Structure 1
Amino acid sequence: MEERKITLVDDEQTLEFYVLEETKLNGSDYLLVTDAEDEEEEADCYILKDMSREGEADALYEFVEDEAELEGLMKIFEELLDDVDIETKE
């Protein structure tokens, strides 16, 4: 699988993530990303929601923080990535 990397930039910092999977739910696009380059190492994962509007040059992503939304999306990503063990932190 081709490695995809995205860079998030705001006024204070620049963060780089590796895209593990993507899905669409209720008309919104979501990315499952990690901060680790190597799939074998333990890493933190995050779910990003595409908040950009059609026709915008740059994508706008937000971290998903709503517990119910996160739980539903984690189930979807676990099914899509059946060979990856995903655990949530409380």
Structure 2
Amino acid sequence: MEKIMLNAPDSGEAIELFVLEQTCINGRNYLLATEEEEADSDAYILKEIQTEGEDTVYEFVEDDVELDAISRVFEEMLEDVGIER
């Protein structure tokens, strides 16, 4: 499973997330990522906002409408995973 590193928005602390799935909607890449590789864990939806050379910048999706729409797409892609909003 692919891992990504990013800074937590509230603390700026570097965190490691495991990418469960990726999709592209309207030309924008989205990731479904979790803190734990195998156990139940909080999941996050991230969107790509910029690419700088080999580095890609993601931000947490916080808009409720966008979050709801993208989470439904990931639920359909991962039939055995339930996403609670």
Query: Is the pair's TM-score, using the shorter chain for normalization, greater than 0.5?
Result: yes
Q: Could you say which residue in structure 1 is the equivalent of 2:62?
A: 65
Task: Supply the distance in 2 between the matched residues of 1:12 and 1:30 (Cα, whole angstroms).
Answer: 21
Query: Which structure is larger by alpha-carbon Rg, 1 or 2?
Result: 1
After TM superposition, the runs of 4+ consecutive aligned structure 1 residues lying more than 3 A away are 9-12
Residue ranges of structure 1 left out of the alignment (5+ in a row): none
Query: Residue type of the partner of 2:17?
Result: F
Is 1:34–2:34 an aligned residue pair?
yes
Partner of 1:46: 44
> Cα deviation per residue 1:2-31 (whole Å; 9 max; x = unaligned)?
x11111147931110000100001110000
Percent of aligned positions that are identical: 45
Which SS does the other structure have where 1:60 is aligned?
Answer: strand
Q: CA deviation at 1:37?
A: 1.7
RMSD: 1.7
Please list every run of 5 or more consecutive structure 2 residues that lacks an aligned counterpart in the other structure.
Answer: none
SS at the partner of 2:50?
Answer: coil
